[in-house]
Structure 1
Amino acid sequence: MHTVAVLALDGVIPFDLSAPVDTFGRARLPDGREPYRVRVCSVREEVSAGAFTMRAPYGLKELADADTIVLPGVAEPPPELPPGVTGALRAAAANGTRIASVCVGAFLLAETGLLDGLRATTHWRAAEQLAARYPAVKVDPNVLYVDNGQFLTSAGAAAALDMCLHMIRRDFGSAVAAHAARMSVMPLEREGGQAQFIVHDLPPAPSGATLEPLLHWLEDHCGRDLSLDEIAAQAGMSTRTLNRRFREQTGTTPSQWLHRARVRRAQHLLETTPYPVERIAVQTGFGSPTAFRERFRRVVGTSPQAYRRAFRAGERP
């Protein structure tokens, strides 16, 4: 039997904890046997979980005997791990134990140094903070999970379900993973691949910047087929000056900013209207549905249809 140790530290997020506990706990082999033994471990017996406290039956010693260790997210990643945690995780890793993190649990794993030089992910809202705090980690905010073999990281708690099912499939095959997916009421592989659904904010200009009026104009007119010459004329600048000012004040080019604005408009239309993709392609300035689909997938990481199914208000699953 494969032992999964879920390490709960103070401030643990309940759903981040329950995702691996439930997913591994529901797995069954074809003959009905349980393939996993799940143990919740902690530094001390009582763990704070926000509105309530919980009891952890096992201590850090159990990590040494685990085949897989899962680090759930915590409300606020600590500046350093509690005494004994780093040593226990490093020792387990040296013995070949698989270690995975849920959401901002990536901060806990990164703190041990085990992610140095590796690609990792976390919730997209925390990705910049993770990259700044641990520059040796190659943070990818655009995926549901990253599997480096021994070390895995997932985005939000829902993405942890995808990661856990992936590990079950690695351990016992697709049939066992498919059964666990059905018990968790989710698909074995979510349509849209391994992309987080990110709200792509437009690169802002500093308050009071000279381009601020132009950015508002661009956002209002992003559905038109705007040329660089027309944008420069609206700004009262040469195209060369426009490009330079754009990079200085937004960190990007006019065309890249415009594409981002169009994608954001498309996300809004997909969420709030029944308009077909062909109409949205025209209304957002992409022209052809093919160009729209390609650009949308490149920026958002999934197709317009998959995005609509996931986020359309009032849409039935």
Structure 2
Amino acid sequence: MRIAVIAYDRISPFMLSTPLAVFAEPFLRSEYRVDVCSSALRLSASGGLTIEANLSLEATHDADIVILPGWRDADEAVSADIVAALLAAHARGAIVVGLCLGAFGLAEAGLLDGRRATTHWSRTQTLKARYPSVTVDAGALFVDEGQVITSAGIASGVDCCLHLVARMSGTGEANRVARHLVVAPQRAGTQPQLIESPTLGSSANRRATQLLEEVRADPMLAPSLDALAEKAGMSRRSLTRHIRARTGGNLGTWLKHARLARAQEILAAGARGFDDVAIRSGFPNAHALRAAFRSELHLTPTQWLARQRLG
């Protein structure tokens, strides 16, 4: 699997490092080759850094995945050579990814027309106004439209790249990489970009986080909010507030995401029989499992499995 990461003058070192941190580390079990490509081999970067790219943009021509990690300014047009590289990659069937403001490059290439997409929350209205044929999801961390993927701002690029690992190599491998990176493996694309977090060191926040981790470890559990509140020694209202601050939603939504992640792990490991997978991941039946896949991933379990095999 060959991945081309496009660099450009005045790039953010953090944005450039995001796909490299996920795909270019030695602990990754799958066979990925990652190349940094640019129209100029010597680039300036923010923070007074200078970056030397090893390949020109022509190296994107045979990549399986082409990633544009951000762009320097939403009010500045993405350069024509980068837009052309994205368009050519898509035309020959490569997966094209725009992290953060990189979505503007995909939109300029026409790759987001008639599709859902996202970008940094502060620039979603700009994207919507400039490209009215794009359905902008201002809340999502990332949006997977099959051959075209976009992510929200800055750190959500890690979630997007981990999602790509899950598509190519399975959820288990994505979660293993996430543990190496010391980031949460369960952040779904539908999780809101903006979450008001409580004080990290507060006792109540630690108890709420511990409860969620216990449930995530065994999503077959079906605890009520009252039972969890009693276990945490908190009122129902207080626990609800802490869960919303921690996850951006309510207990039911978070639990569905945790069960969906477990179902993906089980399916990726080779399990068959959707009723059995549903029960083992905490869903009442295969119908509920299929409904969760459709609502959260816009795919049936069979379609999701087909993508894993293709990867």
What TM-score bracket applies, with the shorter chain setting the length?
0.5 to 0.7
Q: 1:144 aligns with which of 141, 145, 148?
A: 141
Q: Which residue of 2 aligns with 1:112?
A: 109
Instruction: Provide the rounded CA distance (Å) in 2 between the counterparts of 1:52 and 1:193.
Output: 32
Shift of 1:27: 6.4
The CA distance in 2 between the partners of 1:70 and 1:118, in whole Å, is 18
Q: Which of 44, 48, 53 is equivalent to 1:48?
A: 44
What is residue 69 of structure 1 aligned with on the other side? 66
After TM superposition, give the deviation of residue 98 of structure 1 in Å. 0.3
Q: Which residue of 2 aligns with 1:23?
A: 22
Residues 197 and 99 (structure 1 numbering): CA distance in 2 closer, same or farther, change over 3 Å? closer
Aligned equivalents of 1:56 and 1:97: distance in 2? 21
Alignment gaps of 5+ in structure 2 = 209-224, 226-234, 255-311
- SS of structure 2 residue aligned to 1:54: strand
Q: How many equivalent pairs are there?
A: 222
- Corresponding residue of 2:286: none
Q: CA deviation at 1:47?
A: 1.7
Q: Displacement of 1:49 after TM fit?
A: 1.2
| Residues 28, 176 of structure 1: 8 Å contact kept | no
- 1:84–1:75 CA distance, 2 compared to 1 (3 A): closer
Give 1:62 shift: 0.7
1:175 counterpart = 2:166: no
Q: Secondary structure at the match of 2:93?
A: coil
Rounded to whole Å, the distance in 2 between the matches of 1:17 and 1:77 is: 17
Distance in 2 between residues matched to 1:84 and 1:185, nearest whole Å = 36
Question: Residue deviations 1:199-227, cap 9 Å, x none?
Answer: 7xxxxxxxxxxxxxxxxxxxxxxxxxxxx
Evaluate the alpha carbon distance shift between residue 78 and residue 38 of structure 1 in structure 2; reply closer, same or farther with a 3 A threshold. Answer: farther
CA contact (8 A) 1:11 1:76 kept: no
For residue 28 of structure 1, report the CA deviation from its aligned partner: 4.7
Give the superposition deviation at 1:67: 0.4
Q: Does 1:302 align with 2:298?
A: no
Change beyond 3 A, Cα 1:27–1:148: farther
> What is the TM-score with the length of structure 1 in the denominator?
0.61
Q: Give the secondary structure class of the aligned counterpart of 1:71.
A: strand
Distance in 2 between the 1:161 and 1:12 partners?
17
Structural mapping, 1:270-281, within 5 Å? 270-271=198-199
1: CA distance, partners of 2:57 / 2:17: 19
Spell out the pairing of 1:201-240 with structure 2 (5 A cutoff). none
Q: CA deviation at 1:78?
A: 5.8
TM-score normalized by the length of structure 2: 0.63
Pair 1:76–1:138, CA change in 2 (3 A): same
Q: Secondary structure at the match of 1:157?
A: coil
1:7 aligned to 2:6? yes
Q: Pick one of 28, 35, 52 that aligns with 2:31.
A: 35
- Please tell me the residue identity of whatever aligns with 2:58: K
Distance in 2, Cα, partners of 1:149 & 1:275 = 40
In 1: Cα distance, 2:168 partner to 2:87 partner: 22
Q: 1:19 Cα shift? A: 0.7
1:285 corresponds to: none
SS in 2 for 1:136: coil
Q: Which runs of 5+ in 1 are unaligned?
A: 200-266, 279-287, 308-317
Q: Which residue of 2 aligns with 1:92?
A: 89
- Check whether the contact 1:7–1:42 (CA below 8 A) recurs between aligned residues: yes
Q: Is 2:79 aligned against 1:82?
A: yes
Residue 185 of structure 1 and its aligned partner are, at CA, apart by 1.1
Q: Which residue in 1 is equivalent to 2:190?
A: 194
Residues of 1 paired with 2:117 and 2:144: CA distance? 8
> Partner of 2:10: helix, strand, or coil?
coil
Secondary structure of the residue aligned to 2:51 is strand
Label 1:183 to 1:274 Cα distance change in 2 as closer, same or farther (>3 A).
Answer: closer
Aligned-pair CA distance for 1:128: 1.1
| Residues in 1 aligned to 2:2 and 2:204: alpha-carbon distance in whole angstroms | 49
Bigger Rg, structure 1 or 2: 1
Partner of 1:243: none
Cα distance in structure 2, aligned partners of 1:144 and 1:97: 22
Give the share of equivalent positions with the same residue, in percent: 39
Q: Distance in 1 between matches of 2:123 and 2:78?
A: 18
